[in-house]
Amino acid sequence: MAEKITAYRFDRLDQTLSQLNREDCAIIAGGTDVMVLHKSRRGVPPNIPNPIIFIDHLSELKRVYQNQTDLHIGACCTYSDLLDDPLIPLPLKNAIKTIAAPAIRNRGTLGGNICNASPAGDTLPLLYVYNAKLLLRSVNGDRVVAISDFIQGPRRVGRHPNEILAEIILPSVFEEGAHVVFEKVGNRNADAIAKVGFAGYIRLNGPRIDDVRFAFGAVGPTMVRSINIEKKLVGKSIPLADADIAQVVAAFDKIIKPIDDQRSTATYRKTVALNLLRYFLTMKQYQPI
Ligand SMILES: Cc1cc2nc3c(=O)[nH]c(=O)nc-3n(C[C@H](O)[C@H](O)[C@H](O)COP(=O)(O)OP(=O)(O)OC[C@H]3O[C@@H](n4cnc5c(N)ncnc54)[C@H](O)[C@@H]3O)c2cc1C
């Protein structure tokens, strides 16, 4: 006979946080990663060692709102919710459209993609270039951490057991002059895990680069981003000189260290990642005509 699983589903967030403070529970939002991670053989319920606690229905975790130039996204917004929301920036919608199929998008959440911390998580490169901050809530109060500090390795995040990721904050996302792209390379346009993910952000003042950011997914244990390399381009004018582009590409060549696995080879991943970077740096959309 199947083992019994203890499951909690409180009406309110404060009750949920109190329970998390009393007992170490496995949080389930959409469950699309948790159920796969703990799956047993066919017909047998998943083998989750801890009591489970559902959070996907909590309205406090499903709000999207704008606070001056910052965008706040509730961690339990599903991908389908976000596709329907007029405040969500187009590049993030473009990334979401590449994730799984509609059934999974109806369940999977942005908070789940972050807390699962897969190197191939499709929203992560964009969240890194948006300098996303995460609002973590517990009975002890709130704390805000940068996404790059929160994600520590594959499936490893800096979350205390009594905390819930409540909001994803995208600072200055409505700023003028920024150009953001997301590219995913997989076996097909959607419903495929990324071989390589790339996000690029550039903010111009006339031809001058005021800010530029790059993040690569699926080519290392976490997203690859280097503020030191980005800084080399700030203050330069577009179109960039070939030598500047070559210098940045060579710098990333040194720090991108992908692996071979069932989805791709390290050589393919690195070649494609650097090609995407080169393409972004020479893109016509934000170049003066
Ligand atoms: C068929 C299939 C296809 C998929 N395709 C893709 C794809 O193309 N691209 C992609 O990136 N992913 C894909 N995924 C993975 C998955 O759908 C996403 O990572 C999704 O965003 C996970 O969200 P969730 O709400 O289902 O997370 P869950 O499974 O509920 O949780 C994932 C992890 O995060 C924790 N967690 C969730 N929410 C919170 C929170 N608010 N606070 C604290 N901890 C939390 C959970 O405890 C768990 O450890 C796919 C999955 C399946 C099954």
Give the distance (Å) from ligand 1 centre to CA of residue 105: 10
pLDDT at 89: 95
Quickly list DSSP for 51-85: -EEE-TT-GGGS-EEEETTEEEEETT-BHHHHHH-
β-sheet bridge partners, residue 27: 53
Overall domain count for the chain: 2
Average confidence (pLDDT) over 27-31: 98
200 plus 166 within the same structural domain:
no
- The CATH number of the domain where 227 resides is what? 3.30.390.50
- Provide the greatest CA pair distance for the chain: 70
For residues 113 and 61, give the distance between their C-alpha atoms in angstroms, rounded to a whole number: 15
Q: Is residue 27 part of a domain?
A: yes
Per-residue pLDDT tens digits for 99-114: 999 999 999 999 999 9
Q: Which domain holds residue 262?
A: 178-281
Average pLDDT, the chain: 94
- Among the candidates 117, 150, 170, a domain finishes at 170
Q: Is the pLDDT of residue 2 over 80?
A: no
Per-residue pLDDT tens digits for 38-97: 888 887 778 888 999 999 999 999 999 999 889 999 999 999 999 999 999 999 999 999
Q: Is residue 78 part of a domain?
A: yes
pLDDT at 1: 54
- Pocket-testing residue among 16, 48, 116, 152, ligand 1, by greatest number of atoms within 8 A of Cβ: 116
156: which 2 tokens?
């490893």
Which residue lies with its CA nearest to atom 5 of ligand 1? 100
Q: What does the buried/exposed string (b/e) look like for 68-98 if buried means 16 or more CB atoms within 10 Å of the residue's CB?
A: eeebbbbbbbbbbbbeeeeebbebbeebbeb
Atom of ligand 1 nearest to the CA of 159: 43
pLDDT at 287: 57
pLDDT at 46: 80
Q: At 18, phi and psi to the nearest 5? A: -65, -40
Going by pLDDT thresholds of 50, 70 and 90, the confidence category of residue 285 is: low
Per-residue pLDDT tens digits for 200-225: 999 999 999 999 999 999 999 999 99
76 plus 95 within the same structural domain:
yes
Residue written as token pair 């975790």 = 61
Q: Which residue has the higher pLDDT, 188 or 29?
A: 29
164 plus 248 within the same structural domain:
no
Which residue lies with its CA nearest to atom 41 of ligand 1? 165
